[in-house]
Amino acid sequence: MIFLNPCELVTLISSLACAISKTFSPEDTAILAAVFTQLGDSLATILAAGELCENDEEGDSQN
């Protein structure tokens, strides 16, 4: 569980992005950006599919 408020979380993420860009080469940074983008998209897909399945199961049980 994350115990940061939304502004603190945004600040943390921005700070990490700056640190990564200063530490890694542009090529490595590009790969990390793609990896984290895919990770976020995959998590969003998993959550959306899970909600859809839950809604379908609720609808089936009402019929």
C-alpha distance across the termini of the chain, in Å: 37
DSSP code of residue 24 = S
What was the pLDDT predicted at 63? 60
Q: Count other Cβ atoms within 10 Å, centred on residue 56.
A: 10
pTM: 0.73
Q: Domain extents for the chain?
A: 25-63
What was the pLDDT predicted at 59? 74
Tell the burial category of 63 from Cβ atoms under 10 Å away from its Cβ (0-12, 13-18, 19+): exposed
Spans of the chain below 50 pLDDT: none
Q: What residues contact 20, with CB distance under 8 A and at least 6 apart?
A: 29, 32
- 8 A C-beta contact, residue 29 and residue 21: yes
